[in-house]
Structure 1
Amino acid sequence: MNFKSLAAILVSSLALSGAIASTASAQVRVGEDVQDDVQVSDTGTTFYCVNSGGNFATIAERNGRRTAPIFVWRTREFGRDYTPEQRCNLVTERLNNATAQNGGRLRNLLLTTGRVNRLPVVCYVNSDRTGCNSQNLLFTLDSRNA
Structure 2
Amino acid sequence: MELRGQRADVELVRGVLRPGQRPEVFETRVSPWSVAGHDLAAQFAIGLAVSDVRPSWDTETEEAAVRLWLATDDATSWAVVDHDGRQTETFRAQFGPRRLWDEVAAAWQRWDAQARPTVDRFGVTVTPDGSSFWLDSPG
* TM-score between the two structures when normalised by the length of structure 1: 0.29
Name which one, 1 or 2, has greater alpha-carbon Rg. Answer: 2
Give the alignment's TM-score, normalised by structure 2.
0.30
